[in-house]
Chain A
Amino acid sequence: METLKKDVKENNSSKTVKLTGAEAVIKCLLEEGSTLAFGYPGGAIMPIYDELYKYQNQFHHVLTRHEQGATHAAQGFARVTGEVGVVFATSGPGATNLVTGIADAQIDSTPLVCITGQVASHLLGSDAFQETDIIGISTPVTKWNYQITKAIEIPEVLAKAFYIAKSGRPGPVLIDITKDAQFGELDYSYKKCEKVRSYRAIPKLNTEKVKEAAVIINSAKKPFIVWGQGVIIGGAEQEFKDFIEKTDIPSASTILGLSALETNHPLNVGMVGMHGNYAPNVLTNQCDVLIAIGMRFDDRVTGNLATYAKQAKVIHFDIDPAEIDKNVKTDVAVLGDVKQSLVEIMQFVSKANHKEWMKEFQKLYDIEVSSVINEQLNPTKEGLTMGEVLGGINKETKGDAVIVSDVGQHQMFACRYADFIKTRSSVTSGGLGTMGFALPAAIGAKIGDPNREVIAIIGDGGYQMTCNELGTILQSKAAVKIVVLNNGYLGMVRQWQELFFDRRYASTEMVSPDFVKLAEAYDIEAQRVTNREDLASAIKTMVQSKESYFLEVVIEKEDNIFPMIPTGASVSDIRLS
């Protein structure tokens, strides 16, 4: 590393102490303000775990039951706290088990630093026991990765890892440390990284572009905003609210942008996307100006690109230059930190009133209420619906809980129906769609912000992918509330089979164990609800519990999630049934 060598020399001139590489790793984490990691020990990372033992009063380690669980827990931690999630794993299978969580963090822009042990450097390439090329494997799914083979490299590389993980558009970084580098000694001193010469974290804001955008916004008759997680990552929730209130623009969220603006804000018109709300999807194709803020025009948001907002001028605020014109061609791109961009544009936009345009949203919302929402929240049929469970949770939590959802139908119900009054309250696997995400992510979220109520909403399928993490709850005492919405099917796939494969339910019917007994085996109080009259009190008991609680709700077997934009259809062809 050419740039590294130079800086290491500089470091040597300041005050140093002699340490082993393993101890230096812990020291570096503490320097970065990180006092917690999720992980799983093994041969090649034992020197670091030995230091964790020595530093246990300063640094806390949460033992998960699988390395994948450690990455998702670190993601949950990072998403609610805004800090970097730290993961430890050993070489070989320990490292490869991280890959799903790392890929999830990459596509959902979550800052992680994953530290893996590696066989001793003289064994590299010898197919040694538990040797795997984790650098090669993780390259396409990391923001940056690096293999350390000498103890001396540790402080600078870890400083760089934290800087890269959390700056600009955040993402996962993997640092692979050979066992000899962990055992080796170095003259330790730490200097935080503030710059990497080949990396520009935040593009420079161009005021001319801001002015151009403002001119278009000021002359718009039917402007529409779609915001994404960028608003949350950029800590720009207040600036965003100021902006939409001044310009009076109806605004919809992507799945990852949820909770940046409170659900009941008058300008919040819901969620866009495949199972989003009716009005924002339909009116995407009627607005005259589409303003995208910290979002990336995922295909689940846009439907068929050839018919997406073709009538509108598009303004795109983003921190990542590679997102501009990637999927949707923009008229004006405002690159930069979203908070700064929104502050800047406030001085150029004029106060506006779009009440008539807003009525269009209300009209379509009323249609959605009568044709979909009513039946979900207040069902007339006998079977329990996923929507009414969310409605019941809202009543108990008043929107003040972190809702962690897994992947599938229940996720869409959770994202559509959960109320949010605070930012960083919705944690879900959006981009990668990782089943099994929610339980470990909820553990990480609860440990990250123990004062908040954390409720995981999970399907019977996803739950069985990572329910081994109940052991982590047992050991860490993380008071996570778990709601399994059990319809006996892999519901989302079954719905597609029903709609597009003539009801050929290939391998989607799922036989499950007694979930209540399973939770009880882990010393978690548990309850199963099969009747509507028991639901409200069960949710109340769960929310009031000071400890972890498991609630299984047996749901109508063939309940479907609507509205829906079928794959390849236009957003305005969203189906209500």
Chain B
Amino acid sequence: MEENQNFTFSVYTENNVGILNRLSAIFLKRHINIESLTVSKSEIEHVHRFTFVVNITKTQAYKLVGQLEKQIEVIGAFYHTEDEIIYHETALFKISTEYLYDESIQDKLKFRRAHIIAITERYFVIEA
């Protein structure tokens, strides 16, 4: 039996109403759960990028990319395994300004390379 692993699909499409529905239906039809999904503009004008993360076998991934690519408004579809992609997570924390001098916050700023990116009278924002 082939083992499941995480695959990241990058799907480049026209920017039209309804494409998300068309693409997600392809996963639904095969009973595949979407672990994460991002839709954004791509580096190419008028082209949007869908990024799906799903946990499936390599054979499934191969077939799935064929079905995605087959959709009329899909310009290109690709899939990558975990070790082929660089993964970086960034979080923003909005904190009440009264904790600004709190020790634990200070520690995080020092040791986790977090930094304050905004500060107002009521709150400040840390990026970590």
Residue of B nearest to A6 (CB): B46
User: Are the CB atoms of B69 and A2 closer together than 8 Å?
Assistant: no
What's the minimum C-beta distance from A537 to chain B, rounded to whole angstroms?
Answer: 50
Docked complex Cα distance between A202 and B14 (Å): 20
Docked complex Cα distance between A570 and B42 (Å): 48
The stretch from B32-40, B72-80, B84-92, B99-107 touching chain A is B72-80
What's the minimum C-beta distance from B2 to chain A, rounded to whole angstroms?
Answer: 13
Residue of A nearest to B64 (CB): A322
User: Are the CB atoms of A1 and B16 closer together than 8 Å?
Assistant: yes
Residues of B within 8 Å of A197, CB to CB, are: 75
Counting CB contacts under 8 A, is B128 at the interface? no
Chain B residues touching A, range: 20 to 34
What's the minimum C-beta distance from A143 to chain B, rounded to whole angstroms?
Answer: 7
Residues of B within 8 Å of A147, CB to CB, are: 17-18
Counting CB contacts under 8 A, is A135 at the interface? yes
Residues of B within 8 Å of A3, CB to CB, are: 14, 46
Counting CB contacts under 8 A, is B108 at the interface? no
User: Are the CB atoms of A322 and B14 closer together than 8 Å?
Assistant: no
Counting CB contacts under 8 A, is A144 at the interface? yes
Residues of B within 8 Å of A139, CB to CB, are: 18, 21-22, 25
User: Are the CB atoms of B70 and A321 closer together than 8 Å?
Assistant: yes
Kindly identify which residue among A143, A322, A326 contacts B72, using a CB–CB cutoff of 8 Å: A143
Docked complex Cα distance between A140 and B13 (Å): 17
Residue of B nearest to A142 (CB): B22
What's the minimum C-beta distance from B10 to chain A, rounded to whole angstroms?
Answer: 15
User: Are the CB atoms of B13 and A135 closer together than 8 Å?
Assistant: no
Residues of A within 8 Å of B69, CB to CB, are: 321-322
> Of residues 3 to 18 in B, which have CB atoms within 8 Å of A's CB atoms?
13-18
Residues of B within 8 Å of A144, CB to CB, are: 72-73
Binding site for B on A (CB under 8 A): 1-3, 135-136, 139-140, 143-147, 164, 196-199, 320-322, 324-326
Binding site for A on B (CB under 8 A): 13-18, 21-22, 25-26, 28-29, 46, 62-63, 66-67, 69-70, 72-75
Please name 9 further chain A to chain B contacts, defined as beta carbons within 8 Å, in addition to the given A198-B74, A326-B63, sorted by A numbering.
A1-B16, A2-B16, A3-B46, A139-B25, A198-B13, A198-B14, A321-B69, A322-B66, A322-B69
Pairs of residues from A and B, 7 with the lowest C-beta to C-beta distance, nearest first: A322-B66, A2-B46, A140-B25, A198-B75, A144-B72, A322-B70, A199-B72
